[in-house]
Amino acid sequence: MTVTRTRTAATPTGPRTGPRTGPRTGSRTAARFATAVAATALLALTATACSDSDVDKAKDRAASATAKAGEAVSSATEAAASKMAEVKDGVDAKADVKVDGPTKSDDNRATAKITATNSTDKKADYAISVNFRDGDGNLLDTVVLNINGTDPGRSKSGTARSNRNLSGTPKAEIGKALRH
């Protein structure tokens, strides 16, 4: 089996030569993740296929896996964005929030300890969007963690837990944090 990869140029004059600027978008990383899932599934299934019919079935299963993976990431990203949009009078507080240590696995779900340090002189609540990414930086899942009642000048922690099972050791990062 021959696999051909094509790449479209980032600019009309040629491929991107400088470093990536800006965050990766959910749909782009979801597509990369879905493509990787499909390619892996297709390769595994076609390696054991014995006929053209079996190969066609393998292709259909791979396409289905791709669609489901992409839908799951898109759905999680949209749900997180919707929850963050519900925060009234939120102030950007990404500098107040950090991921404490590496992610862990709990019942096949990725978990990450998140700490918010209230830098104001009033009690505050935090809404934090946490992204889980694979080793290549592809977005796997997004969740929203609320840390409420953080006293002035104090820190409070919570645990972000992925919406679905994630394999490997994904990395957690703060996408957006609002203090309200």
* Model confidence at 91: pLDDT above 80: yes
At 41 the pLDDT is 54
The torsion region of residue 132 among left (phi > 0), alpha (psi -120 to 50) and beta comes to beta
Give the separation between CA 179 and CA 166, rounded to whole angstroms: 29
What confidence tens digit (pLDDT) does each residue in 161-180 have? 999 899 888 999 999 999 99
* Model confidence at 76: pLDDT above 50: yes
* Model confidence at 105: pLDDT above 50: yes
What confidence tens digit (pLDDT) does each residue in 111-168 have? 999 999 999 999 999 999 999 999 999 999 999 999 999 999 999 999 999 998 998 8
CA angle 40, 45, 49 (to 5 degrees): 150
Structure tokens at 155: 């820190």
* Model confidence at 64: pLDDT above 60: no
DSSP 63-83: HHHHHHHHHHHHHHHHHHHHH
Average the pLDDT over 48-74 and give the result.
54
Instruction: Report how far apart, in Å, the C-alpha atoms of 21 and of each of 18, 25, 139 are.
Output: 9, 11, 16
At 89 the pLDDT is 87
At 157 the pLDDT is 98
Those residues with Cβ within 8 angstroms of residue 7's Cβ, 6 or more apart along the chain or in another chain: 15
Average the pLDDT over 36-51 and give the result.
53
Positive or negative CA dihedral for 33, 166, 105, 94?
A: positive
Structure tokens at 138: 């592809």
Bridge partners of 100, per DSSP, are: 113
At 25 the pLDDT is 44
Q: State the SS3 of 98-123.
A: EEEEEEEEECCEEEEEEEEECCCCCC
* Model confidence at 26: pLDDT above 80: no
Structure tokens at 11: 């600019």
Those residues with Cβ within 8 angstroms of residue 63's Cβ, 6 or more apart along the chain or in another chain: 38
Percentage, residues of the chain above pLDDT 90? 46
